[in-house]
């Protein structure tokens, strides 16, 4: 069985259709993998750490899809949440890559060693 990690980098603050389209396609891909019984994990990194707060709002157009894949979210980059002032919305902070001068970020090397294919949006 394949293992896929989906990393969301797009910034909701940009207010663009492109940014919304990227997070929509990331979650739709996660939903597709989940529905197929494949192992999938979602990470929010960079300015993408701002998305969970937005997607958690009941009136957001992608709220239902967010809730449908919420169980596949492994967390938010701790260092990125710090850098971009993101509300972590109660999600786990991932900090297994001890980057100097930060509180830590997700490790792509660790994901690769665990057999994940990494897709970024």
Domain-located, residue 90? yes
Domain-located, residue 114? yes
With b for 16 or more beta-carbon neighbours within 10 A and e for fewer, the 79-104 pattern comes to bbbbebebebbebebbbebeeeeeeb
Say what the alpha-carbon torsion angle 60, 87, 6, 111 is, to the nearest 10 degrees.
-160
pLDDT at 88: 86
* Angstrom distances, CA of residue 64 to CA of 4, 79, 100: 22, 28, 37
pLDDT in tens, 24-62: 999 999 999 999 999 999 999 999 999 999 999 999 999
Domain-located, residue 112? yes
How many domains does the chain fold into?
1
Domain-located, residue 42? no
> ∠ CA(74), CA(78), CA(79), 5° rounding?
140
Domain-located, residue 76? yes
pLDDT at 112: 97
pTM: 0.94
Domain-located, residue 24? yes
Q: Where in the sequence is the domain holding 58, given as residue range(s)?
A: 3-12+19-37+48-120
């Amino acid at each position: 069985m394949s293992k896929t990690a989906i990393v969301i980098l797009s910034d909701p603050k940009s207010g663009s259709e492109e940014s919304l389209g990227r997070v929509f396609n990331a979650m739709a891909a996660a939903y597709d993998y989940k529905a197929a019984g494949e192992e999938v994990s979602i990470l929010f990194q960079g300015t993408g750490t701002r998305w969970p707060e937005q997607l958690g709002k009941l009136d957001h157009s992608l709220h239902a899809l967010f809730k449908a894949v919420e169980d596949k979210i492994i967390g938010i980059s701790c260092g990125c949440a710090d850098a971009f002032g993101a509300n972590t919305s109660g999600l786990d902070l991932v900090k297994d890559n001890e980057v100097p001068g930060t509180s830590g970020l997700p490790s792509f090397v660790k994901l690769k060693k665990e057999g994940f294919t990494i897709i970024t949006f």
